[in-house]
Amino acid sequence: MKILNLPNLNEGVIAALDLFIKNEPPRLNLKQFNFPIVIGSGNAYNTGIAIFSNRPAILANESNFNQILKNYKSLIKNKEITQALIISASGEKDSIWEIQLAKKYGLKTTLMTCAPNSSAAQTADKTIVYRKLPEPYTYNTSTYLGMFLSASGENAADIKKFILGLKLKERLASYEAYAFIIPDEFAAITPMLEIKRQELFGPHLSLRAFSFGEARHAKFVHPWKKELVISLSKNEFFGYKEHRLEIQLPEKSGIGMVMAITYYIIGLIQEIKPPYFKRNISNYSLVHGYKSYGLEKPFDIIVPGN
């Protein structure tokens, strides 16, 4: 198959940071949400978990949202739950029916999206719009990074400066497998990294991600000299000592910094390894991927920005 000329994920991270240096995301005041139901699919779901990690909220996805509404029906009826926050970069697909169903239950709906003219935006009671860049299908770097910075208030220029100071490519090149260990307070990022492994490498490369607490649960019973264990804190226990890479986060780092660093490193790995994604994304987007959604139109290989 033809190898497409697409940017690697690390290039997408720097481009996204440049975007937010020039255009700060809208500030998201989480105090406006009082025990909401937060709904998202894929990494939008994980974004919701990360943003509301220190706030009371009920998290739902496209598979269990209907059941969660039934489970909490009495609290909704008694007005103890009055809000639904839907996170969807595209404002299409599942977000449309999720908003419609939430409104049917009498919930006030807020949509976080990068698509102000989308079907979901036209349906929601309120829409918070984020800037995004044109990116290869599945990357979704500027989309969710903007939402993280919006909630955390981190400075994109500081994040970029720190990342560009990391000289990691040569260290990464000699390994066949990689494992991330993330501080517990940023545990919500780990499934996002697993998703990136699935999207960019599929079965061709081992890339694992755990919070420090998860790592203790027998995740490193089988250390391997060809696996580099990358920790965003001190690592005294996991992987062979000489095959550990410790990155000390700056003080007051938030979820935006953690996402940017880890995505950047995954992009460097993508740059080093064979171009699995660039070889296969065309077939997925144009031939068969969209059909599982019941759509007639293929996916864009480069998803437009706004």
- Residue identified by tokens 């000489």 is 242
Which residues does residue 60 pair with via DSSP β-bridges, in sequence order?
Answer: 39
The predicted structure's pLDDT at residue 281: 96
Query: Do residues 130 and 150 make contact, with C-beta atoms less than 8 angstroms apart?
Result: yes
Per-residue pLDDT at 19: 98
Residue pair 195/262 in contact (Cβ under 8 Å)? The answer is no
Phi, psi angle pair for 227, to nearest 5°: -110, 125
Answer for the pair 301, 281: CB distance below 8 angstroms, yes or no.
Answer: yes
Q: Where in the chain is the domain with CATH 3.40.50.10490?
A: 9-151, 168-278
Q: Phi/psi at 70 (nearest 5 deg)?
A: -70, -40
Per CATH, the homologous superfamily of domain 168-278 is: Glucose-6-phosphate isomerase like protein; domain 1 (3.40.50.10490)
Contacts of 256 (CB under 8 A, 6+ apart): 145, 148, 149, 152, 154, 156, 159
Q: What is the pLDDT along the chain (306 residues), one digit of tens a residue?
A: 789 999 999 999 999 999 999 999 999 999 999 999 999 998 899 999 999 999 999 999 999 999 999 999 999 999 999 999 999 999 998 999 999 999 999 999 999 999 999 999 999 999 999 999 999 999 999 999 999 999 999 999 999 999 999 989 999 999 999 999 999 999 999 999 999 999 999 999 999 999 999 999 999 999 999 999 999 999 999 999 999 999 999 998 999 999 999 999 999 999 999 999 999 999 999 999 989 888 889 999 999 898
Interatomic CA distance for residues 263 and 85, integer angstroms: 25
Whole-prediction pTM: 0.92
- What pLDDT, on the 0 to 100 scale, is given for residue 1? 73
pLDDT at 183: 96
User: 9-151 in CATH: which number?
Assistant: 3.40.50.10490
